[in-house]
Amino acid sequence: MIKAGIYHTPDVPYAYAIDENTLYLKIQAAKEDIKNVTVYYKDRHQYEKPFQQVLMNRIQGSEIFDYYEVELVNVDKKFRYFFELIDKEGNFFYYNERGIMNERPDVPQTFQFPYLCPGDFYQQVEWAKDGVMYQIFPDRFCNGNHNNDPEGVKPWGERVVGNHDFFGGDLKGITKQLDYLKELGVTIIYTTPIFQSCSNHKYNTKDYYEIDPQFGTKEELRELIEEAHKRGIRFVLDGVFNHSGDDFFAFKDIMNKGEKSVYRDWYYIESYPINQRELNYVTFYDRYGNMPKLNMSNTDTVQYFLDVASYWLREFHIDGFRLDVCDEIDHGFLKKFYERVKKVNPEAIVIGEIMHMGNSFCRGDELDSTMNYPFRESVLEFFALRKMSAENFIETLAIRQHSLRKDLHKQMLNLLDSHDTARFVTDASGQKRRLELATVFQYTYLGIPYIYYGDEVGLEGGNDPDCRRCMIWDKEEQDTNLFEHFKWLASIRREHKEFVDGEFNTLLAKQQFLVYERVLKQEKSIVFLNNSEEEKLIYQLEEGTYCNIRNGEVIEGGRELVVEPMDFMVLYALKDL
């Protein structure tokens, strides 16, 4: 046995409480090195009581590791446990908190999970994991009320130049297009900030309690949310709590009063007076002077923003927040914020903008989800840029999967692009077939599909600000075939719950060929993706009867299945009658 491959720790993501009686355990082993793994467990205080034993289930692993998992039940809520591993040669090994040994360990040497504390249970956001998210940049989506257009508004669809180009998109425009979004299969709307701000992107907030007049009024927001809820669509706001605008009242007070300001500890001020040319204070990103960084370890700052969250949750019944630059915010604040949000609305979702793995934020007490940029980067390299093989593609996804709790992984927001990136189809050199294949994977993989407005009709755009072009509403200019493709994907995900909650198992990952199954109890679907522009994908289909979900054709197994270049197939395994 390759001892270096064995790993477990009684902590997330290898051990955590599921509910008041159930403990989840996972152990890592070197690839194809172990025949089976058994966990021995019992109540941690019952020293004389014999151990119970359960064979662990092998699940989708990576190129170099296998993983085994199990859910243990103990009504007394207290666990001690160790692992028995049998290698391919039949040798027995035992693994506990002291390491790997050849003899079965004594009781005091076992791993322990002392108690399944109710405060540690994570509650999945059920409505979210079943859904499809749609991101809107409000100024560019739809102009529903020309009376609130800002001065100097540009003609719809004109070229975007910078952060002070305004096109008149607003809340009324989103309300007007709710039926469009419903038809697309959208169940969650996320808007970039709508609070008062001088820019078009609104990430430099002036007033966290007011809607920017160019977007409309609070009553129009209330109407939008009520109408969305009538259609089964949730609404998530963007919370910019890492930094404020430089015209926010607290920072203005510091600018006016210097060190005598009662708000001086709300920010990271290095010297006085404030110098916006030399920037003697910490800012967002690389010296963005109009976005001073907030000090979220300061009690008064924390309380202010907790109250901001409560206000929008209680008064407007929003369904959650997406937290901008989440990974630069104090963990202590995030825990308090999460607790406050769940206290006001236990079903609300808290999403973090994190452009890397960010595992320390994903323990279940700070965030419910993140914008899954690691997913995006892998999909981009495999489907759009053709820089990655299927083997490496699946490997990167496996690394991401096993870094997270299973329940949070199902809630990751699997985006292909956003307001901070070039459009996927533009990165794919305008080849929409690559986008279609990528979205098939996006909708049938673990996690929540995430659409950036306009992707569904072929809207293009390079890096910021070009990726923030105006939405295409002229039917003659829309790619309606692409829209129908997105609609179909939403429908199969809605009708086949294995794509939401099923296990993901790779059947083939080679060069540009990818075949995988999603299995939920007795339900199974198989997805075939041929990402090659020249070669056919030929796959020996196992015995059984299948339905091609795309066209309804019944296919008998036990033969070779052929998928043409740059094409896909989704089969549902029919049960024996």
Pairing label, strands 34-42, 79-87: antiparallel
CB 206 within 8 A of CB 247: yes
- Please, what's the b/e burial string for 398-435 (b: 16 or more CB within 10 A of its CB; e: otherwise)? bbbbbebbbbbbbbbbbbbbbbbbbbbbbbbeeebbbb
Q: Top-level CATH class of 502-574?
A: mainly beta
Rounded CA-CA distance 428/460 in Å is 10
If we measure between CA atoms, which residue out of 74, 111, 78, 95 comes closest to residue 5?
Answer: 95
Same fold: 3-120 with 502-574:
yes
Task: Give mean pLDDT, residues 124-150.
Answer: 97
User: Quick one: what percent of the chain has pLDDT higher than 90?
Assistant: 96
What's the mean pLDDT in 306-315? 98
Instruction: Determine the average pLDDT of the residues in 208-226.
Output: 98
Closest CA to 33 of 108, 100, 128: 100
Confidence at residue 577, expressed as pLDDT on a 0 to 100 scale: 40
DSSP, collapsed to helix, strand or coil, labels residue 195 as: strand
402-417 pLDDT tens trace: 999 999 999 999 999 9
How far is the C-alpha of 410 from the C-alpha of 252, rounded, in Å? 42
Q: Is 353 a catalytic residue?
A: yes
Catalytic residue among 220, 324, 330, 517: 324
Specify the pLDDT at position 306: 98
Task: Choose between 575 and 248: higher pLDDT.
Answer: 248
Cβ distance 221 to 251 under 8 Å?
no
Which class is domain 3-120?
mainly beta
Percentage of residues of the chain with pLDDT beyond 70? 100
Residue 108 clears pLDDT 80, i.e. is over it: no
CA distance 233 to 186: 7
Q: Which amino acid is residue 375, in one-letter code?
A: F
Which range (275-289, 428-442, 505-519) has the least confidence?
A: 275-289
pLDDT band at 33 (very low <50, low <70, confident <90, very high): very high
> Is residue 355 pLDDT above 60, yes or no?
yes
Q: Give the mean pLDDT of 61-84.
A: 94
The predicted-structure confidence for 425-471, as pLDDT tens digits, reads as follows 999 999 999 999 999 999 999 999 999 999 999 999 999 999 999 99
The pLDDT mean for the chain works out to 96
State the pLDDT at residue 195: 98
The answer to whether the CB of 96 falls within 8 A of the CB of 105 is: yes
CATH class of the structural domain 243-295? alpha beta
Whether the per-residue pLDDT at 76 is higher than 90: the answer is no
> What are the φ and ψ backbone dihedral angles of 352, each rounded to 5 degrees?
-110, 135
pLDDT at 162 over 90: no
Active site residue 103: no
The mean pLDDT of 483-505, rounded to a whole number, is 97
Neighbours of 260 (CB within 10 A): 10
The domain segmentation of the chain, as residue ranges, is 3-120, 243-295, 502-574
- Over the stretch 172-198, which tens digit does the pLDDT of each residue have? 999 999 999 999 999 999 999 999 999
Which residues fall within 8 angstroms of residue 300, CB to CB, at 6 or more apart? Answer: 265, 266
| Antiparallel, parallel or unpaired: β 369-370 and 413-415 | unpaired
Q: What is the mean pLDDT of residues 270-275?
A: 96
Contact 92, 85 (CB under 8 A): yes
Q: Using 50, 70 and 90 to split pLDDT, how confident is the model at 63? A: very high
Q: Which one is catalytic: 353, 368, 417, 455?
A: 353
How far, in Å, are 200, 435, 455, 466 from residue 194 at the CA level? 10, 30, 22, 20
CA distances from 368 to 18, 110, 125, 416, 464 (A): 15, 32, 7, 20, 27
Question: Which pLDDT value is given to residue 576?
Answer: 60
Q: Which phi and psi angles does 211 have, rounded to 5°?
A: -80, 140
